Structure 1
Amino acid sequence: MGEDVDAQEFSRADRTRHRAKVRQCLDVFARMLAESHFDTQDPMTGLEVEFNLVDDAGDPALKNEEALAAIADPAFQTELGRFNVEINTEPGVLRGGGLSGFESRLRESLNRAEQRSSEVNAHLVMIGILPTLEDTHFEEDALSSNSRYHLLSEQILDARGEDIEIAIDGPDSLRVTTDSIMPEAACTSTQFHVQTTPDEFASHWNASQAIAAVQVALGANSPYLLGRELWHETRIPLFEQATDTRSAELKAQGVRPRVWFGDRWITSVFDLFEENVRFFPALLPVIDPEDPEEVFAAGGVPSLRELRLHNGTVYRWNRPIYDIAHGKPHLRVENRVLGAGPTVVDMIANAAFYFGLVRALARSERPLWSRMSFSAAEENFHSAAKHGIGAQLYWPGFGQVGAAELTLRSLLPLAHEGLESWGVDQAERDHYLGIIEQRCMTGTNGASWFIREVKRHGGDDDRSAALHAALAEYRTRMHTNEPVHTWE
């Protein structure tokens, strides 16, 4: 969840002052990168998971406030829709059983939260898009009460100047218009965080961009939206369209979208923050009283709140994060490409694959991105979202190759190598990366399983009944924590 913002209105003068302040923050950030000591002693990793809430019938439960009150755990927070909640796990190191530690803690939290929230008829579901959503759940009254979300919706619609149109083609097609950003709430994700030094940030971000398509292909888990079968990872086009501030005319002029893959490989983390300031007007021009230059000159660590809040409204699939912990600044990559679920063990397997592969590629003597155009990485990304585990991708040394074949032949050994350098022991590497291997061998991930299950339940005749039946089966299997490739 983003930073809380009080309800307010913004004047033209507010925007002028904010632009000056965010540029001041950017200047101070540049000086910090050159002069400050960032926390790099023992790089941490972390993850966040967004959940849907459903009632006993499997329909969306607009009860996140009641559910959070029942769960009574500060690790759980609100998200955009009233049928969403999110958990932020405690960051940790990967060595010494870090991955299995993430799994056990997340599983315990999920079990406890499900037991308590079920008392108010709100059950947690980990899936990229809840397949039982209907048009009414895209209306503004389904927004969470947090004022940040209402402000964002108002600002995005005001910037756009017209309603938002969602248009996605697939086996079915979808055309729908909405007067709020509620379609964004349909997109529930798993987010991985990897801390890095300023010097190594660019290589970690570039590596994350290069492998984003493979992640999406192997982990796709959102094939249905509003009763239609669309892309295997429909979250990708839905999120890109749901927060688009551009009118058709601005799109034709080449104005950059708010949800952005990017347009180049980078050489520094500064490149990304500078692009944010140069290309994107502020959606939330809130001004903090802190003077970052004074704080930095006095030997302190400036919060750079304007720069950070603005960064939170530019929705990169791999987002740069500047943060402060225990009085020290640090940098991390926030990887946002995957949907939630299907099970906790599946998500930790996805995390192991990401952390290991990024580590290996970021430290490679011959960077992958020196052999692949950025446009090829972006084309791969959308092809993977559309076709899932059956996607064909371009890869240096292979040409066009299936995502599963590429993973088995090349990427899994690299992920093992990267995890080993993190200090992950052999048994843990084999366990989690073995799940990725079997997913590739069977051709089964969340999306492919759900499509088959809907067809098994007669989805061609009664789509709504089939979606509800498949979701009921999905929820049962989700709680077994058996990886999705083992689901018959």
Structure 2
Amino acid sequence: MGEEVEQQEFSRADRTRHREKVRRCLDVFARMLREARFDTDDPMTGLEVELNLVDDQGDPALKNAEVLEAIADPDFQTELGQFNIEINVAPAKLRQGGLTTFEESLRRSLNSAEEKASEVGAHQVMIGILPTLAEGHMSVASLSSNPRYLLLSEQILAARGEDITINISGRERLSTTADSIVPEAACTSTQFHVQTSPDSFAAYWNASQAIAGVQLAVAANSPYLLGKQLWRETRIPLFEQATDTRSEELKAQGVRPRVWFGERWITSVFDLFEENVRYFPALLPVTDDEDPLEVLESGGTPELHELRLHNGTIYRWNRPVYDIAGGVPHLRVENRLLAAGPTVADTVANAAFYFGLVRTLAEHERPLWSQMSFQAAEENFHVAAQQGIDAQLYWPGIGQVRATELVLRRLLPMAHQGLESWGVETSVRERLLGIIEQRCLRGTNGAEWFVDRMAERHGEDVYDALRATLLDYRERMHTNEPVHTWGSD
């Protein structure tokens, strides 16, 4: 969830001072881009996974503080809800076996953490939305104890001036309200990070936007919320609504949402940070003492605290990241639109598909985004979230096509090519992209498996069926056999 902040109140003067500081940071960032101050050699990739916690019956376990104390591993961190934790996997170079390293590290860490968490009555589940969440879990009492979360909740509700409204129509319809941002905690994701040079950033971000719909279609994994079957990737509309600071009147005026696909292809990373500053007031106007210009002119690397904190409260599905490692600044695209799971193998296969495909498209002579409107990419994104692996998507030169056919005939070869360019071994490419291929051939993913399994329990109490299905899911998750092999036995 970003940088730590203390619980506090903000005055009008705080907001004015913060706005001035953010703009000063933006000016310094622009100068750093002009002066080529960034690390561009041998780019790293990264992986973060958000997890849900359940008890022995499959109900949410509001125990993240106890679980983290038991795990005692700095790679595991708190998340927004008491039924969430997050693991940050160490960055790696793909040409040095990074995908295998991610998989082995993630499995080892999760197995160890599961053993320790079970001692306090909690178990980890990798799924986009915990299907056994009920209305009673959607209160401020479910927020983690970190002051940042309560402060963020208060600021979003204050900006809205009214309770948060959730309205989602899918197979069934859900309409509810919340007096905190806890519904956001229901959305757990996997985040892929790819480091780029400033010159390449726009191409990587544009490519990430262009393939967002395809990613969602093949990896959808959150079909249920509050006992209702909704979208195949219900996280998308839920997250968009759960952090919306706009009243109905502001929506009607065209004010932009904080959970944002965007509205145009970009030519520079600066475009995104400049949009952040221009369109979005600060939610957490915390001002640091650093003078970024003074630091830069003295030969140092400015932290740009305010710009980074502000960026962390604007929830782009592909987010720009400014960060510092070893005293040297770098840029990353953070691809954050997929759910976790169902298994580690599935998660790393999703990573392989993303890293390979985005590289091929970003480095192609004729950019895909020069042949496709931004609106078409956004429509693909929402259609795929709604329909999952059965989605029909638009693709340049083809028109409307089934997502599975598009992946099998055109995109998997591109992903192989991209991974080869990264230096990924043939056997690793074939194994991981083979998982994506099999999902498409069999027309199944996490969301489809869960819905099909629930259909077999038709007639049972819905929450009893959800608990039983989730326990079945959790058991299969631990086998690390990809979801396309699960069947219904």
Pairs within 5 Å for 1:397-412 = 397-412=397-412
Per-residue Cα deviation, 1:87-144 (whole angstroms, up to 9, x for no partner) = 0010000113211111000000000000000000010000000000000111000000
- Matched residue, 2:34: 34
- Structure 2 residue matching 1:191: 3-state secondary structure: strand
Question: C-alpha separation between the residues in 2 aligned to 1:97 and 1:224?
Answer: 36
TM-superposed CA distance for 1:238, in Å, is: 0.1
Whether contact under 8 Å (1:96, 1:425) holds in the other structure is no
Q: Which residues of 2 match residues 7-406 of structure 1 at below 5 A?
A: 7-406=7-406
Partner of 2:486: 487
Is 1:453 the counterpart of 2:453? The answer is yes
Distance 2:468 2:296 in 1: 58
Q: What amino acid is the match of 1:211?
A: I
Aligned mates of 1:370, 1:36 — CA distance in 2: 26
Partners in 1 of 2:31 and 2:382 — Cα distance? 37
Helix, strand or coil for the counterpart of 2:380? Answer: helix
Corresponding residue SS for 1:466: helix
Q: CA deviation at 1:465?
A: 1.2
Identity among equivalent positions (%) equals 73
Which residue identity is paired with 2:190? T
In the TM superposition, residue 201 of structure 1 has moved relative to its aligned partner by 0.1
TM-score when normalising by structure 1: 0.99
Distance 2:472 2:32 in 1: 52
* 1:357–1:411 Cα contact (<8 Å) kept: yes
Supply the AA of the counterpart residue of 1:365: E
1:184-239 CA-to-partner distances (Å, cap 9, x unmatched) read: 00000000000000000000000000000000000000000000000000000000
Counterpart residue identity of residue 189, structure 2: S
1:144 aligned counterpart, secondary structure: coil
How many Å separate the matches in 1 of 2:95 and 2:439? 25
1:2 offset after TM fit, Å?
A: 1.1
State the distance in 1 between where 2:221 and 2:410 align: 24
Partner of 2:461: 462
Whole-angstrom distance in 1 between the partners of 2:326 and 2:36: 15
* Equivalent position SS for 1:320: strand
2-structure distance, mates of 1:195, 1:137: 37
C-alpha distance in 2 between matches for 1:266 and 1:357: 19
SS of match in other structure, 2:455: helix
Secondary structure at the aligned position of 1:401 is classed as strand
C-alpha separation in 2, matches of 1:15 and 1:138: 30
Q: Secondary structure at the match of 2:119?
A: helix
The alpha-carbon deviation at position 476 of structure 1 amounts to 0.3
SS of structure 2 residue aligned to 1:480: coil
Shift of 1:461: 3.9
Q: Is the 8 A contact 1:455 1:466 kept in 2?
A: no
> 1:53 is paired with a residue of what secondary structure?
strand
1:28 CA displacement: 0.2
Match of 2:476 in 1: 477
Aligned 8 A contact 1:54 1:125 in 2: yes
TM-score scaled by structure 2?
0.99
Q: Which amino acid aligns with 1:298?
A: S
Distance (whole Å) between structure 2 residues aligned to residue 472 and residue 137 of structure 1: 19
Per-residue CA deviations over 1:312-356 (Å, capped at 9, x if unaligned) read: 000000000000000000000000010011000000000000000
Output the amino acid matched with 1:198: P
In structure 2, what residue type is equivalent to 1:469?
A
Instruction: Indicate conservation of the 8 Å contact 1:457/1:469, yes or no.
Output: no
Q: Which amino acid aligns with 1:240?
A: E
Distance 2:152 2:7 in 1: 10
Compute the RMSD of aligned alpha carbons: 0.6
Structure 1 counterpart of 2:262, one-letter code: G
User: Could you tell me which residue of structure 1 aligns to residue 429 of structure 2?
Assistant: 429
Distance 1:442 1:397 in 2: 26
Unaligned runs of 5+ in 1: none
- The CA deviation at 1:397 is 1.1
Does structure 2 retain, via aligned residues, the 8 Å contact 1:53–1:124? yes
CA distance in 2, matches of 1:20, 1:203: 30
CA drift of 1:70 comes to 0.4
Give the Cα separation in 1 of the matches to 2:169 and 2:407.
Answer: 28
Structure 2 gap segments, 5+ residues each: none
Deviations 1:429-484 (A, max 9, x none): 000000000000000100000000111122x4421111111101000000000000
Query: Is contact 1:164–1:180 with CA below 8 Å preserved after alignment?
Result: yes
Looking at structure 2, the residues matched to 163 and 197 of structure 1 have their Cα atoms a distance apart, in angstroms, of 42
C-alpha displacement of 1:37: 2.6
- 8 Å Cα contact 1:165-1:178 kept in structure 2: yes
Q: Structure 1: how far apart are the matches of 2:460 and 2:353?
A: 39
- Superposed CA offset, 1:382-406 (max 9, x none): 0000000000000001100000000
User: What is the one-letter code of the residue matched to 2:167?
Assistant: A
SS of alignment partner, residue 397 of structure 1: coil
Mean Cα displacement is larger for which, 33-42 or 353-362? Answer: 33-42
Query: 1:117 corresponds to which letter in structure 2?
Result: A
Q: Distance in 1 between matches of 2:41 and 2:260?
A: 31
The letter for the 1-side match of 2:478 is H
SS in structure 1 opposite 2:208?
A: helix
Q: Give the secondary-structure state (helix, strand or coil) at the position aligned to 2:296.
A: helix
Deviations 1:5-34 (A, max 9, x none): 011110000000000000000000000001
1:133 match: secondary structure: coil
* Alpha-carbon distance between aligned partners in 1 of 2:426 and 2:364, rounded to the nearest angstrom: 21
Q: 1:371 Cα deviation (Å)?
A: 0.3
Report the residue type matching 2:179 in the other structure. Answer: D
User: Following the alignment from structure 1 to structure 2, what is the Cα–Cα distance between the partners of residues 333 and 396?
Assistant: 24
Count of aligned positions: 487
**93-102 or 197-206, which deviates more:** 93-102
Shift of 1:4: 0.5
